[in-house]
Amino acid sequence: MPIYVDPDICDNSKDCPAASYCVPLALEFDNEKGKIAYDKSKCKSCGTCVHHCGPGAIYLAKDDEELEMLVEELNKLKEMG
């Protein structure tokens, strides 16, 4: 179950509570890039980050296929305004 962090919603806070609750450090503030970075290879698909993201930028999908569909739908909605 991979996650998707919507870049239009994520506030890229250094104090991101979702990242602070991510035990395997799959979500971390990247000091070089100045934004939140997600490392799928470290992600345990626990879903904890989804519940701790203040702005609601994180989506959890059951597999890569569902994640792809979800991102497509989100982008379509954005295009519609």
Residues forming the site for ligand SF4 (CB under 6 A) = 3, 21-22, 24, 26-27, 43-49
Q: How many residues would you count in the chain?
A: 81
Indicate the residue among 68 and 76 with the shorter CB distance to ligand SF4: 68
- Tell me how far, at minimum, the Cβ of 45 lies from ligand SF4, in Å: 5
Q: Which residues on adjacent β-strands are paired with residue 29?
A: 36
- Written as six digits, the tokens of 27 are 């979500």
Please, which residue, 30 or 80, has the CB nearer to ligand SF4? 30
Per-residue tokens: 50:
């989804």
CA-CA-CA-CA torsion sign (4, 10, 13, 17)? negative
| Residue whose CB is less far from ligand SF4, 2 or 81 | 2
